[in-house]
Structure 1
Amino acid sequence: MLALDRFLLLLLGLLACAVVVPMYVALPPAMLALLPWLPLGTMAVALLLSQIYQQGRMGFVILLSLLNYGIAIQLQQHLVTEPPTQSLYWLWALSAPVLLQLITALAVPLVFHRRAIGHWLLIVIAMTVALWLWHQPEQLGVINPWMQHRSLALVDWSPAPLIILAIQLIIVMLSWVNYLLNKSHDLIAIVLAQAVLLLSTVWIEQAAIVALLATTLAVAHFILVLGLGHQLAFIDELTNIPGRRALNMALARLGKRYTIAMVDIDHFKKFNDTHGHDVGDEVLQMVAQQINNVGAGGKAYRYGGEEFSVVFAGKDPKQCQAALEQIRTDIADYRFVVRSAKQRPNDGKQGKTQRGAGGGKTVQVTISLGVANRTAKRNDSDSVFKAADNALYRAKKAGRNCLKLASSS
């Protein structure tokens, strides 16, 4: 199971706890008083971070989650005593998931950006209609009869009409399918936001449950935004493996025994000039994918350009050589097909699945490797890298598509 999948399941489990705990545990009065305010501050900080990290979709998910929670706590106290307010909330519970799905499906710029005016306009229209209906309760008269929970209740302990819960559940499932097809942090945020909308609608009359759900969602948003920030800072965007900054941090944590391999794609500049930069990018992605599967506990990084590094903590070169030779032969044996511009899909993920298949010229991609370890004379990472580079140079001189070890001295 992928790390993102485990994280999503953990957060969904926390949402379930947020529903169950208030039913069986008497929360302290001080906590009950503080609880409604916790989601507001946490979501505000997460929204600010999404702006800093330039994550527009995540920002709008957080903004709409904040808006939904604010509406819920404002209308909660009127739900039992004022039937029109109840109908208004059911209408909002019906439209909010659709609004969230619509806004996040559009091309999403930064939340606070002039290009986001269309997204803000949709939110303002929805809010304006809601406020108008709140102050014009007679307009709800036409829908009150079929919105009454007595005829459409799911269970006795929930006032929510079944039709609303059914639509919300369908949207949650669609969000889940979208996540399964396109794994990413912001899609987790959408799944969680839709799930909290559903659970909050079911338990809308339980203030503590709604507040705990919103608090759990706010913390999840905060963690997800930090995760996106980490990805931007440390993951190479093209190859989707850790980059130079992550490598530097890993080197600082190494002990006294380690091995470093420098990997270079053979004739990459000539290949790029002949077939174009798009094909060159596909070669980099293919090589990164293969190197990322290296055994013997190695960790792959993109060093820069067509160069990669593999770090083996606690290993000597002899323990790493077989794993590195395996990726060298795997890449040399890989059937890489150079597709024309017409054959190459616009969607990068679809292109990744078709890499190595289809019509076009088949070419061989090879790599050269230089390997060095820390010794008494090479007692820092810079000297180990220099030795690995010298070994890589010898591999190039020896005809490429081979591995050379640095001297043990």
Structure 2
Amino acid sequence: MSLYNLFRSSLFQIGFPLALAIQLCLSQEQIFTLLASYHELVNVVPYILFALVILLSQPFNQGSTGLVSLLMILSYYVIQNSLIVPLEDMNRVIFVLLATLLPINLLLIHALPDKRILSRFGITFSLFILLQLVWLSILMQNLSATDVNWLWQSFLKPLPTLSPSPLIIILLSFFITIFSALILLFRGHNSDQAVYITLLFTSVMFLSFNQALMPALTASMAAILLLISIINSSHELAFIDQLTEVPGRRSLEIEIKHLSGLYTIAMIDIDHFKHFNDTFGHRTGDEVLRLVAQLMNQNKGRGRIFRYGGEEFTIIFKGKNANQCMPYLNSLRTRVAEYDLKIRDHTSRPVMGVGLKAEMEKANNESVNITISIGVADSVSETIPENVMKAADKALYRAKNGGRNRVTNLRFA
């Protein structure tokens, strides 16, 4: 698995924030000591970071991340202005309501469409959040003259040795965070990652609420990860081909500009792809493109793969000449040719978000085989990357004219 695919995997998206949360808990005393002189600044940082996430979520079409940040910035404001440690009297009620409503609202975002925060839907949900705050304020006013200590002592009694939070709140946060992690694991949308990150760090915040800087630190950590998520998503939209999930043409152009030394470029074309598309339909054609990209990712040689456009791909091998790359490319050509592609009936069964191989194994219809042609050129006799690429394209043309399903090295064509 490539480093890029590792970062995009659901297991990494779950495990990395979890590791940071655990490290924060283990190192909190050292962190508190280090930041003791910057108490006021630390408390302001979450406002700045979440505001930045909200601003970036609009142009980058990350509406759910913006809504998550809106929930967090409002909740953090309530924490900073209405909750005083140690919790007493009405502060306890506010704490319990916040620790209950915030995870539930975050979990609700999993089920909502990912619309921009300034869209009609985003504005409606924002008003729904503000309505809850108004209700919370009215409820506090009505309960201000009521003795609620019995509720804390009976149903919401905390475990002082573990946390200032009542056990029921700890369990609620735990199970909702686990449920969110499962959604991220099996669905893996960007919005799912944003919800999971926020639920994880709010759980840590409520668990360690009696620590003075913990709300600010957990909120700041969540905001930083949300910022990274937005930047990563915008990078994917700009540089990653959404169909095959490999770097696209723009990434290739940048890579070509920085090539130097010894390298080999291979241009790959799926044989008779237009005829295949016309015969079996565009959905099956999409499956073929994903299959070829998947097999290239599994191939040895440490080449970097790009989708050049249409049915063409490019592989760049750094530090290798064309002869050294020929075994890897012939192995790829053979694996593609020997793969039995099951043709699915897309008219009766839609494409679902499961693995391509699993989809094909479930199919009981006819199977076909596809082939690829490959042209290869290196920088041994040509140092300008654009010219090496043209040479590889010329070699590909010879491979197509020579009968297809072959690898042609321009130096020996």
Q: Scaled by the length of structure 2, what TM-score is found?
A: 0.91
Cα separation, 1, equivalents of 2:87 and 2:342: 66
| Distance in 2 between residues matched to 1:386 and 1:395, nearest whole Å | 14
2:29 is aligned to 23
Aligned-pair distance for 1:30? 3.4
Match of 2:57 in 1: 50
For residues 78 and 276 of structure 1, do their structure 2 counterparts lie closer, same or farther at Cα, with a shift above 3 Å needed?
Answer: same
Given the superposition, is the C-alpha separation of residues 144 and 237 from structure 1 closer, same or farther in structure 2, using an over 3 Å criterion? farther
State the partner residue of 1:200. 205
AA aligned opposite 2:396: L
User: 1:319 aligns to what?
Assistant: 324
Residues 41-91 of structure 1: per-residue CA shift (max 9 Å, x gap): 11211222222211122222222222222222122227634x123212201
Q: Unmatched 5+ residue regions in structure 1? A: none
* Percent pairwise identity: 34
The answer as to 2:146 corresponding to 1:146 is no
The letter of the residue matching 2:98 is W
Contact 1:262 1:309 in 2 (8 A): yes
Rounded Cα–Cα distance in structure 1 between residues aligned with 2:34 and 2:136: 33
Please, which of 395, 400, 406 is the counterpart of residue 402 of structure 1? 406
Amino acid at match of 2:61: Q
**Which residue among 289, 292, 303 is the counterpart of 1:284?**
289
Once the 2 structures are TM-superposed, how far is the Cα of residue 157 of structure 1 from its aligned partner? 5.5
User: 1: CA distance between counterparts of 2:85 and 2:15?
Assistant: 34
| SS of the residue 1:368 aligns to | strand
Structure 1 equivalent of residue 115 of structure 2: 109
- In structure 1, how many angstroms separate the alpha carbons of the residues matched to 2:356 and 2:127? 35
| Deviation of 1:261 (Å) | 0.4
In the TM superposition, 1:317-356 aligns within 5 A as 317-349=322-354, 353-356=358-361
* Maintained 8 Å contact 1:374/1:381: yes
Q: Is the 8 A contact 2:53 2:69 kept in 1?
A: yes
SS at match of 2:15: helix
8 Å contact from structure 2 (residues 163, 208) kept in 1: yes
Runs of 4+ in 1 over 6 A off after TM superposition: none
Q: Against the structure 1 CA distance between its residues 331 and 356, is the aligned structure 2 distance closer, same or farther, given a 3 Å change threshold?
A: farther
Q: 1:348 to 1:202 in 2, by over 3 A?
A: closer
**Change in CA separation of 1:231 and 1:283 when aligned onto 2, cut-off 3 Å:** same
Letter in 2 for 1:321: M
| 1:12 pairs with 2:23 | no
The offset of 1:247, in angstroms, is: 1.0
CA contact (8 A) 2:164 2:207 kept: yes
**Cα distance in 2, alignment partners of residues 348 and 9 from structure 1:** 22
Matched AA of 1:89 = F
1:37 matched to 2:44? The reply is yes
Distance 1:262 1:351, change over 3 A: closer
Deviations 1:175-219 (A, max 9, x none): 112222233544332222111221211222323111111111111
**Cα deviation 1:77-124 (Å, max 9, x = unaligned):** 27634x123212201211211111112321120112123244224313
Deviation, 1:282, is 1.1
Q: Mind listing any 5+ residue stretches in structure 2 that lack a counterpart?
A: none
Q: Could you tell me how far 1:168 is from its partner in structure 2?
A: 1.0
Aligned with residue 225 of structure 2, among 211, 220, 226 = 220
The superposition leaves residues 269-298 of structure 1 with CA deviations (integer Å, 9 ceiling, x where unpaired) of: 111111111111111111111122221111
Change (3 A) 1:356 1:289: same
Change over 3 Å in CA distance of 1:28–1:386 after alignment to 2: closer
**CA pair 161-114 structure 1, distance change in 2 beyond 3 A:** same
Greater CA drift, 22-31 or 88-97: 22-31
Structure 1 position 348, deviation (Å) = 3.1
Give the paired residue count: 406
2:394 maps to 390
Q: Match of 1:167?
A: 172
What TM-score do you get using the length of structure 1 for normalisation?
Answer: 0.92
